[in-house]
Amino acid sequence: MTTITMAGALNAALRDALRDDPRVLVFGEDVGRLGGVFRVTDGLQATFGTERVFDTPLAESGIAAIALGLAIKGFRPVAEMQFDAFSYPAFEQVTSNIAKYHLRTLGACNMQLVIRIPYGGNIGAVEQHSESPETYYVHTAGLKVVTPATPADAYGLLTAAIRDPDPVIFLEPKARYWSRQELDLPLPPQPLDRARIVRSGKDATIIAYGPTVQVALAAAEMGEQEGMSLEVVDLRSLSPLDMDTISASVRKTRRAVVVHEAPVFMGLGAEIAARLMHDLFDALAAPVERVGSATVPYPPARYEKLFLPDADRVLEAVDRTREY
Amino acid sequence: MAETISTRPALRGRGDDPIAAMLSEDGVLTTAGEEQAAVTNEELRELYRLMVVCRRLDQEGLNLQRQGELGVWGQIFGHEAVQVGAARAMAATDWIFPYYRGFATAVCRGVDPATILTVFRGLTHGAWNPYEYRLAPFIIPVGTQIPHAVGFAIGCKLDREAIAVLVTFGEGATSTGDWHEAMNFAGVFQAPVVFFCENNQWAISVPLRNQVAGCIADRAAGYGFPGIRVDGTDVLSVYAVTRAAAARARRGEGPYLIEALTYRMAAHTTSDDPTRYRTDAELEPWRAKDPIARCAERLHARGAWDEIFAQEVNQEAEKRAVMMRQKLLAMPIAHPGTIFDLVFANPPATLLREKEEFIASLEPGGAV
């Protein structure tokens, strides 16, 4: 066992993919000599050369589009968008072309590519380096959207994403890049459509993903001290949504709180709450609660601790479901 | 109203460009250029044949739309020489990434015309397997196919394959960021791609002068590779320069930009009404430069005109128009459940479940 960070686990997954499949390419802004602004691609160009790991011009739409072209040619591109809000110039390519190309070519052209996007806040950065754009992507048919919460899942999900024949938006919670875990790599690939129960409980279910899984676990710890038994579900896949796992948990606990950094308004919590209301109407003991951010632009960094969900806000939401 | 469009030739910034040297100031092959291109009479007749056939099929597309059989049709009238010349200049092993007005391009690539029309009849979102014809699908969002071609071309280079990639687009597309990004990526990676602008001088209602300041061909210089403006109504010139640019790309000498100047003789699409922004008189000088008539003149000048051949071509065009119509109208609508089938290569279970629910919600038999 070695202690490895999430950034290190992602690096190892890329390294192993480059080693195992000669068609895998890694490219983006500053991913070559620098190793990426978060060092996720550190050392890859030195090992695999400038044809397989390369810097591109500073143009995200072009990066996504050449990934599409390379995928037609039979490569397996893993493209990096430097920051969440910097993925927006590529949005048209991702939603109008990458997501639809398999359909548009009678299934002949697999879009076997991964677009990695560091996302989320809590790093004291400017607004465009702190956003949670997942809802934009999950609302587009033809994309798979996943996000790891741990180094182990970072390795397992990225490995699976690179091997999957469909386009995967791979959201990396940047505040968790330096979180550590004892691991023996390599790990097996993880399914791209399965949530995971990361803590068992019986009084309420906290549904989280990416950066908020840690928040949910912290809330569950605090809740335990107050005599509550809280279950935590890590979605891992945002599209498709593993409602089987979510529903099974909520059927048991009868109370649900969804937690994400993205604005509550039209966030993933809205879909999950609607589905739980529809599927488990009689089983629910209280309305589904949502904890997220306000409908304002990501605030200046000095406000972000107040803006983002924390364990206290999650527990307050749990209390509301228990007091209903 | 649109003023007369300047036909100023591209800057000759690179005097060492042998392709530019094939053309006169008017963008037409010089005598020496024509000798150098060495296009045979047989090849020229084939270009003529394809232009006549494509124009007739295009007219049939318009007829079908007017009769309510197509939702929309974007005519290629005026684009016969640029599309036939460029598509036929590419080797069978090369690839083409067309824009949405690529009917003749696709026909030249061997795609069945009725199959192409299924997109405009509302039967499909894409009608052919790109690997079968080495032809990417029509892309509707303007300019977004251009960097796809560059990515594919970078892949050809990484695979050490002598493949040239042609990408076509209108002059309106040169205003998009994707055009710039694609040109820049191609220059930086020295990708084997031929950028081919079908400058028909109209982006729906916006004339060239409101779209582009300067000359599109000149812009290549800023990306580190050559560009030329060619007369897009002369199929021989288009064919010769595109073939040379493709050969150059295959030799590993990098990207090339061709701006072919022509005129959109029809509406943007059948949903458009050009009487709101241009007069019929403006088309007159371009009628005099009709691509098919000009090709016939070239065949006459070479002593290669053959009246029987010309009659046979007209008959073939009529026959193919009838066949296209019959085949298209006989095409069934697939079961609505199929709209779920090709979204993913490896569909998630949730989508399969949604498909079952959708089918269950349909009337018995699932008729559309």
Tell whether B99 is covered by a domain: yes
Asked if B177 is an interface residue toward chain A (Cβ–Cβ < 8 A), one would say yes
Phi, psi of B232 (to 5 degrees): -80, 5
Instruction: Give which of A231, A236, A234 is closest to A220, Cα–Cα.
Output: A231
Q: A44, A15 in Cβ contact below 8 A? A: yes
Phi-psi region of B3 (alpha: psi -120 to 50; beta: other; left: phi over 0): beta
Percent of chain A with pLDDT over 70: 100
The span from the CA of A147 to the CA of A153, in Å, is 9
B273 in the same domain as B356: no
List the CATH number of the domain containing B224: 3.40.50.970
B220 and B257 part of one domain:
yes
The answer to whether the beta carbons of residues B228 and B15 sit under 8 Å apart is no
| Closest residue to B148, CB basis, from A65, A141, A164 | A65
CB contact under 8 A, B126 and A97: no
Q: What is the pLDDT of residue B5?
A: 43
Report yes or no on B14 lying in a domain. Answer: no
Q: State pLDDT tens for residues B249-301.
A: 999 999 999 999 999 999 999 999 999 999 999 999 999 999 999 999 999 99
pLDDT for A272:
98
Per-residue confidence (pLDDT) for residue B15, from 0 to 100: 62
Cα separation of B146 and B173, whole Å?
9
pLDDT of residue B3: 42
Which B residues in the span 86-125 are in contact with A, Cβ-Cβ below 8 Å? Answer: 124-125
Domains and CATH numbers, chain A: 2-183 (3.40.50.970), 196-323 (3.40.50.920)
Q: Is the model's pLDDT at A6 over the cut of 90?
A: yes
Confidence at residue B4, expressed as pLDDT on a 0 to 100 scale: 39
B188 located within any domain: yes
Tell me the one-letter amino acid at B277.
Answer: Y
> Do the strands A180-183 and A2-5 form a parallel or antiparallel pair, or are they unpaired?
antiparallel
Mean pLDDT of B187-206: 98
Task: Give the Cα-Cα-Cα angle B217, B218, B223 (nearest 5 degrees).
Answer: 100
- pLDDT(B6) > 70: no
In angstroms, what separates the C-alpha of B308 from chain A's closest C-alpha? 40
**Contact residues, chain B, for A241 at CB < 8 Å:** 350
In tens, the pLDDT along B203-235 reads 999 999 999 999 999 999 999 999 999 999 999
Mutate to test the interface with B, among A51, A53, A76, A105 (most CBs of B within 10 A): A105
- Count of structural domains, chain B: 2
Q: Is B110 in the same domain as B195?
A: yes
Q: Is the pLDDT assigned to residue A193 strictly greater than 90?
A: yes
How many angstroms separate the CA atoms of A269 and B275, rounded? 51
Does the distance separating the beta carbons of A69 and B178 come in below 8 Å? no
DSSP B23: B
Mutate to test the interface with B, among A52, A56, A72, A95 (most CBs of B within 10 A): A72
pLDDT of residue B11: 53
B368 band by pLDDT with thresholds 50, 70 and 90: low
Confidence of residue B16 (pLDDT cuts 50, 70, 90): confident
Which residues from chain A sit within 8 angstroms of residue B177, using beta carbons?
59, 61, 89
Residues A106, B345: C-beta atoms closer than 8 Å: no
In a domain, B45, yes or no: yes
Other Cβ atoms less than 10 A from the Cβ of B314: the count is: 14
Alpha helices for chain A (secondary structure H):
6-20, 44-48, 60-72, 91-92, 101-104, 134-138, 151-163, 212-225, 243-253, 268-279, 304-307, 311-323
DSSP B339-362: GGTTS-SS--HHHHHHHHHHHHHS
Given an 8 Å threshold on Cβ–Cβ distance, is B125 in contact with A62? no
Q: Please, what's the b/e burial string for A253-288 (b: 16 or more CB within 10 A of its CB; e: otherwise)?
A: bbbbbbbbbbbbeebbbbbbbebbeeebeeebebeb
Residues B229 and B275 grouped into a single domain: yes
Q: Are residues B261 and B361 located together in one domain of the fold?
A: no
Q: Is B346 near chain A, with CB under 8 Å?
A: yes
Average pLDDT over residues A75-83: 97
Q: Is the pLDDT of residue B8 over 70?
A: no
Residue B341: give the domain boundaries: 333-368
Q: Which of A57, A48, A320 is CA-nearest to residue B191?
A: A57
What mean pLDDT is predicted for residues A15-32?
Answer: 98
Contact call for A166 and B346, based on CB within 8 A:
yes
What are the residues facing A3 on neighbouring strands? A182
- At residue B364, the pLDDT reads 74
Do residues B230 and B140 both lie within one domain? yes
Sign of CA dihedral B182, B186, B192, B194: positive
B192: left (phi over 0), alpha (psi -120 to 50) or beta: beta
Asked if A87 contacts A120 with a C-beta cutoff of 8 angstroms, the reply is no
Mean pLDDT, residues A34-49 taken together: 98
3-state secondary structure (DSSP) of residue A215? helix
pLDDT of residue B7: 43
pLDDT in tens, B85-124: 999 999 999 999 999 999 999 999 999 999 999 999 999 9
| B259: helix, strand or coil | strand
Cβ-Cβ contacts under 8 Å between A and B: the total is: 140
Segment B44-55 shows an average pLDDT of: 98
Q: Do residues B358 and B328 share a domain?
A: no
* Domain match, B272 and B311 both: yes
pLDDT bucket at B363, cuts 50 / 70 / 90: confident
Nearest residue, CB atoms, A141 vs list B131, B149, B343: B343
Arithmetic mean of pLDDT over chain B: 95
Q: Give the pLDDT confidence of A277-298 residue by residue, as tens digits.
A: 999 999 999 999 999 999 999 9
Query: How far is Cα B149 from Cα B139, in angstroms, rounded to an integer?
Result: 12
Phi, psi dihedrals of residue A207, rounded to the nearest 5°:
-105, 120
Containing A116, the helix (H) or strand (E) segment is strand A114-119
CB contact under 8 A, B125 and A100: yes
Helix (H), strand (E) at residue B105: helix B103-108
Distances (CA, A) of B263 to A303, B184, B268: 57, 27, 11
CB contact under 8 A, B126 and A106: yes
Using CA coordinates, name the residue in chain B closest to A57. Answer: B185
The angle subtended at Cα B184 by Cα B183 and Cα B185, nearest 5°, is: 95
Instruction: Report the alpha-carbon distance of residue A317 to residue A302 in Å, rounded.
Output: 24
Interface of B with A in 123-152 (CB under 8 A): 124-132, 136-137, 139, 141, 144-152
| A107: chain B residues, CB-CB within 8 Å | 341-342, 345
Residue B256 included in any domain: yes
Structural contact between residues A119 and A146, judged by C-beta atoms closer than 8 angstroms:
no
Do residues B216 and B259 lie in contact, with contact meaning Cβ atoms separated by under 8 Å?
yes
Could you read off the pLDDT of B114-173 as tens digits, one per residue? Answer: 999 999 999 999 999 999 999 999 999 999 999 999 999 999 999 999 999 999 999 999
How far does B306 lie from chain A, in Å, by closest CA? 40
Phi and psi at residue B216, in whole multiples of 5°? -60, -45
Pairwise CA distance, residues B254 & B164, whole Å: 10
Minimum CA–CA partner of B150 in chain A: A66
Inter-chain CB proximity A107 and B345 less than 8 Å? yes
Residue B365 pLDDT grade (very low, low, confident, very high; cuts 50, 70, 90)? low
Residues B168, B194 within the same domain? yes
In the structure encoding, which two tokens stand for residue A237, read together?
Answer: 């896949």
**Residue A240: cis peptide before it, omega within 30 degrees of 0:** yes
Whether B117 is covered by a domain: the verdict is yes
Q: Is the peptide bond before A186 cis (omega within 30 degrees of 0)?
A: yes
Nearest CA in chain B to A66: B151
Percent of chain B surpassing pLDDT 90: 94
Active site residues of B: 264, 268, 277
Average pLDDT, chain A: 97
Percent of chain B's residues with pLDDT above 70: 95
Q: Are residues B226 and B308 in the same domain?
A: yes
Q: Is residue B12 in a domain?
A: no
Q: Check whether residue B351 and residue B266 sit in a common domain.
A: no
A166 with B345: Cβ contact below 8 A: yes
Q: Which residue has the higher pLDDT, B366 or A261?
A: A261
Residue B305 shares a structural domain with residue B355: no
| Beta-carbon contacts of residue A299 (< 8 Å; ≥ 6 apart) | A127, A307
CB contact under 8 A, A106 and B349: no
**Which 3 state secondary structure label does DSSP give B266?**
coil
Contact across the interface for A72 and B181, Cβ inside 8 Å: no
Nearest C-alpha in B relative to A54: B189
Asked if pLDDT for residue A111 goes beyond 50, the answer is yes
> Measured between CA atoms, how close is B78 to chain A, in angstroms?
27
